[in-house]
């Protein structure tokens, strides 16, 4: 099965011209043949980027219903622009906008009901000892997944991304051994068939080892995905044969 690579642009770029520059190297035909590739742009670019051949789009968030909710975007709106994936529970939503796992749970149920495929983010806010980290992972998953059955779990992509490892925060990347242990524990909790990705300062210096040596099903790339030169390097490294 192909590994998944998500490029999360967050609140960037400023316009479609700059977005096209970021896409230039992602469009590499060999890269798109080797990996399942997704771009997570701001809402305003989704409709345009959904026209990209072989590159799938993923929204950065959604609300849990339609109605008089100024500034929000519903799951059905995402479907209407041919977007089939959505990020939920990202640590920046929790840290900056006060969202919690109960909020994530409501969004997750709404996304699944609209036949969106969610990327459910989870992970510790700060670095903890092994047992403390496991308990925090269990707490987040238990609340986020409350009321969902095995069928819903099978349609969910899980992303282990500890907040302290994100480059825009503390930026403390995990070792291969640490990632492998967390992924193994996550699958033990979710089921061995669960699709689990990793995020947290993924860049050209570590992506190949992460993909090949930790047991993950793919990665989410944040800040690095905003630099065309670094994207080019990532593509080259991912395609390099040992």
Q: How many CB atoms lie within 10 A of CB 11?
A: 8
pTM for the model: 0.96
68 token code pair: 């008089």
Q: Which residue, 226, 213, 138, is CA-closest to 174?
A: 213
What is d(CA 53, CA 45) in angstroms, rounded to the nearest whole number? 15
pLDDT of 170 reads 67
Q: What is the pLDDT along the chain (242 residues), one digit of tens a residue?
A: 899 999 999 999 999 999 999 999 999 999 999 999 999 999 999 999 999 999 999 999 999 998 999 999 999 999 999 999 999 999 999 999 999 999 999 999 999 999 999 999 999 999 999 999 999 999 999 999 999 999 999 999 999 999 999 877 667 788 999 999 999 999 999 999 999 999 999 999 999 999 999 999 999 999 999 999 999 999 999 999 77
State how far Cα 236 lies from the chain centre: 21
CA distances from 5 to 37, 47, 66, 214 (A): 5, 20, 30, 15
What is d(CA 200, CA 173) in angstroms, rounded to the nearest whole number? 6
In CATH, the number for domain 4-239 is: 3.20.20.70
What is d(CA 46, CA 59) in angstroms, rounded to the nearest whole number? 7
Q: How many CB atoms lie within 10 A of CB 83?
A: 24
Backbone dihedral angles phi then psi of residue 234, each to the nearest 5 degrees: -60, -45
Just list the catalytic residues: 90, 161
What is d(CA 164, CA 149) in angstroms, rounded to the nearest whole number? 30
Q: What beta strand segments (E) does 53-175 contain?
A: 56-59, 85-88, 117-122, 157-160
What is d(CA 172, CA 237) in angstroms, rounded to the nearest whole number? 22
Sorted by where each begins, the domain ranges of the chain are 4-239
């Amino acid at each position: 099965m192909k590994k998944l690579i998500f490029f999360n642009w967050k609140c960037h770029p400023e316009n479609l011209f700059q977005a096209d520059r970021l896409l230039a190297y992602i469009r590499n035909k060999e890269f798109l043949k080797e990996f399942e590739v997704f771009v997570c742009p701001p809402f305003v670019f989704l409709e345009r980027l959904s026209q990209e051949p072989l590159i799938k789009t993923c929204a950065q968030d959604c609300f849990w219903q339609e109605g008089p909710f100024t500034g929000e975007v519903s799951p059905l709106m995402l479907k209407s622009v041919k977007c089939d994936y959505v990020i939920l529970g990202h640590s920046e939503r929790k840290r900056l906008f006060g969202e919690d796992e109960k909020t994530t749970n409501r969004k997750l149920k709404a996304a699944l009901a609209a036949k969106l495929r969610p990327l459910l983010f989870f992970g510790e806010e700060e670095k903890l000892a092994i047992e403390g980290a496991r308990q925090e992972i269990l707490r987040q998953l238990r609340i986020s997944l409350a009321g969902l059955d095995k069928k819903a779990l099978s349609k969910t992509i899980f992303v282990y991304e500890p907040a302290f490892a994100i480059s825009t925060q503390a930026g403390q990347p995990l070792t291969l051994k640490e990632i492998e242990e967390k992924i193994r524990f996550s699958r033990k909790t979710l089921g061995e068939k669960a699709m689990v990705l990793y995020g947290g300062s993924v860049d050209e210096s570590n992506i190949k080892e992460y993909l090949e040596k930790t047991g993950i099903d793919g990665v989410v790339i944040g800040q690095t995905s905003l630099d065309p030169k670094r994207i080019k390097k990532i593509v080259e490294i991912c395609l390099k044969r040992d």
